[in-house]
């Protein structure tokens, strides 16, 4: 039964569908492993066997009655703690929400339940998704299954380490500036940020509403495509939800071919500032595509130089507004100072005790960016940079179908290495941020191990807005090229988590 944990979600779905194994057996296998090994990776903030097995039983009963709710029917999944769930506490990695039981399910959670996917638990994250390493989680950092002394990326390091450590076959993440793709790159897994609006944000604890997007965290491109097909679609409860379907991503993966493919390499994101082994892996990916007749074109995106700066004005501005709701009145923590304090003092004391240092930093930065006198210079200019980035991308996509970049500038760094240097931490997202500012889809796919440290590296595929299928097509092609070389997915080269020690 232990070999179940080494199978892809697509394979597990097939085994369940053909009744060779039950959803209860698969769910138990992953749950047992999670219970046993979560202390090593700290992927989960909350695990609930009873709920997971009850959902698995329902999936098995439906199957016995001839009903298959989705192509992932019966396959268990881990959910980032940024999505509200009415049967499990939801904290977004913050003390201010410790113990909060939401009164409703996020739309994505409703979709997972309806599609027959048992939820194993809620995964760890940087507090309110602010961070690239999970070191800003109020509950402690998650660890990378390739090396437990290293970060699994962030903010979705709980989901990436759960999938890469095979504590779950699938997970859900959220990506505001790279929080799905960056963790995927440093853990040798696959992560997608869909087009803005492709997946409902209803019930997602907001960080920056014009940037946030929910997406799949998996070990294979087909699994990501199958999961995106389950969670996407119009939702009347989210006014930014796209009205039309973007088509089947699984079909795009299954029909992927090289015919006529034109790939762009962004001049500003090709070599400078990237670790040697990461650059070497990226050049290897490009060479493989060239060898298969793919046309490679260098494209110029000069405004990308300003994307991190624009992002760290827009994000704190939106976050300072979104996080005003943690006011000690309707939910979450309330701290009462001595005497007969006014509500204003109660709020300030609660937010002092409930928020961690990075959250305070960003709220105060956002308050600054939005204050009169500074608004035009900072927030106003940042919004203009957003236009310039969209214009650069429009020019690039007139020449090519997709753009490729290394996903992350380095492989996973050591826990503690950057935690006291906010600016260094912000630069981890240099290649992933433009997609959020422009609303376009991006996928990170493993492209090998960096020669100097033997740690995973990822390549990012960017496609025009609404053309998620094109990104999946190229992701599948790249994955196939490497699978042919390695004989299996990169994740099969990961160390045995049971043998690793913290």
Binding positions for other proteins, 321-380, rule CB under 8 A: 324, 327-334, 336, 340-344, 346-349, 351-352, 355, 360-361, 363-365, 367-368, 371, 374, 377-378, 380
Contact between 183 and other proteins by CB under 8 A: the answer reads no
Rule CB under 8 A: which of 88-107 touch other proteins?
100-104
Long-range interactions of 241-246: CB distance < 8 A, separation 24+: 241/197, 241/200, 241/201, 242/195, 242/197, 242/198, 242/466, 246/194, 246/195, 246/198, 246/466, 246/467, 246/468, 246/469
Of 293, 294, 258, 286, which is closest to residue 270 (Cα–Cα)?
286
Specify which residues 216 forms β-bridges with: 172
DSSP state at residue 203 = T
Residue 80 designated active-site: yes
Options 179, 232, 270, 307, the catalytic residue: 179
Q: Contacts with other proteins in 290-319 (CB under 8 A)?
A: 303, 305-306, 309-310, 312-313
Contacts of 139 (CB under 8 A, 6+ apart): 42, 45, 91, 93, 124
Asked if residue 476 binds other proteins (CB under 8 A), the reply is no
The answer to whether 207 and 151 are in contact (CB under 8 A) is no
Smallest gap from residue 321 Cβ to other proteins (A): 10
**Does the footprint of other proteins cover residue 195 (CB under 8 A)?**
yes
Rule CB under 8 A: is residue 394 a binding residue for other proteins? no
Dist. CA 385–CA 374, nearest whole Å: 16
Record the tokens describing residue 167, joined without a space: 């504590």
Among 14, 51, 210, 283, binds other proteins (CB under 8 A): 210
- 385 touches other proteins (CB under 8 A): yes
Q: How far is the CB of 352 from other proteins (least distance, A)?
A: 4
Strands 262-266 and 44-47: unpaired
Residue of 80, 111, 122, 193 with catalytic role: 80
199 binds other proteins (CB under 8 A): no
Please say if 179 is a catalytic residue. Answer: yes
CA 30 vs. chain centroid, Å, equals 20
Q: Assess 393 for contact with other proteins (CB under 8 A).
A: no
Cβ 460 vs Cβ 443: under 8 Å? yes
CB 363 within 8 A of CB 323: yes
**Does residue 465 belong to the site contacting other proteins (CB under 8 A)?**
yes
Instruction: Please tell me whether residue 244 binds other proteins under the rule CB under 8 A.
Output: no
For every residue of 431-464, DSSP letters joined together read TTHHHHHHT--EEEEEEEE-TTT--EEEEEEE--
Is 36 labeled as catalytic in the residue annotation? Answer: no
CB of 313 to other proteins, least distance (A): 5
CB of 406 to other proteins, least distance (A): 22
Identified catalytic residue from 155, 161, 174, 200: 155
Q: Which residues are catalytic?
A: 80, 155, 179
């Amino acid at each position: 039964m232990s070999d179940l944990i080494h199978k892809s979600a697509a394979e597990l779905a097939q085994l369940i569908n053909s009744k060779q194994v039950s959803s209860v057996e698969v769910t138990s296998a992953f749950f047992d492993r999670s219970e046993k090994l979560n202390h090593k990776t700290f992927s989960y903030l909350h695990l609930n066997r009873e709920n997971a097995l009850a959902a698995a039983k329902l999936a098995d009963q439906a199957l016995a009655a001839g009903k298959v709710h989705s192509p992932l029917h019966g396959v268990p999944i881990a959910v980032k703690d940024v999505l509200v769930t009415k049967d499990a506490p939801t904290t977004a990695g913050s003390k201010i929400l410790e113990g909060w039981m939401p009164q409703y399910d996020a739309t994505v959670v409703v979709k997972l339940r309806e599609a027959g996917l048992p939820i194993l638990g809620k995964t760890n994250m940087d507090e309110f998704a602010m961070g690239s390493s999970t070191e800003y989680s109020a509950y402690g950092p998650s660890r990378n299954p390739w090396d437990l002394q290293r970060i699994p990326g962030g903010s979705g390091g709980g989901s990436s380490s759960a999938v890469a450590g095979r504590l779950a076959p699938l997970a859900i993440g959220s990506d505001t500036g790279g929080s799905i793709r960056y963790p995927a790159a440093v853990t040798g897994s696959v992560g997608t940020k869909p087009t803005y609006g492709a997946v409902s944000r209803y019930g997602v604890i907001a960080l920056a509403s014009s940037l946030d997007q929910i997406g799949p965290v998996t070990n294979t491109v087909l699994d990501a495509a199958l999961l995106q097909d389950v969670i996407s679609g119009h939702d009347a409860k989210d006014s930014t939800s796209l009205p039309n379907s973007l088509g089947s991503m699984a079909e795009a993966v299954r029909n992927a071919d090289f015919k006529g493919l034109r790939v762009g390499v962004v001049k500003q994101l090709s070599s400078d500032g990237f670790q040697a082994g990461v650059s070497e892996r990226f050049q290897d990916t490009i060479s493989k595509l060239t060898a298969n007749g793919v046309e490679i074109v260098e494209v110029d995106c000069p405004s990308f130089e300003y994307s991190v700066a624009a992002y760290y004005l827009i994000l704190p501005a939106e976050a300072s507004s979104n996080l005003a709701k943690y006011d000690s009145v309707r939910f979450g923590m309330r701290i009462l100072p001595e005497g007969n304090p006014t509500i204003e003092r109660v709020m300030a004391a609660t937010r002092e005790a409930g928020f961690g240092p990075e959250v305070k930093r960003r709220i105060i930065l956002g308050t600054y960016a939005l204050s009169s006198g500074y608004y035009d210079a900072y927030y106003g200019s940042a919004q203009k940079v957003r236009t310039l980035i969209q214009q650069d991308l429009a020019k690039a996509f007139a020449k090519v179908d997709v753009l490729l970049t290394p996903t992350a500038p380095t492989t996973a760094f050591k826990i503690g290495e950057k935690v006291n240097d906010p600016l260094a931490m912000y630069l981890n997202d240099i290649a992933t941020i433009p997609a959020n500012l422009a609303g376009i889809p991006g996928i990170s796919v493993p492209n090998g191990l960096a020669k100097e440290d033997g740690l995973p590296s990822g390549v990012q595929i960017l496609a025009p807005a609404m053309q998620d299928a094109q990104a999946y097509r190229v992701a599948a092609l790249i994955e196939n090229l490497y699978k042919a070389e390695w004989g299996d997915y990169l994740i099969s080269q990961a160390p045995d988590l049971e043998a690793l020690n913290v």
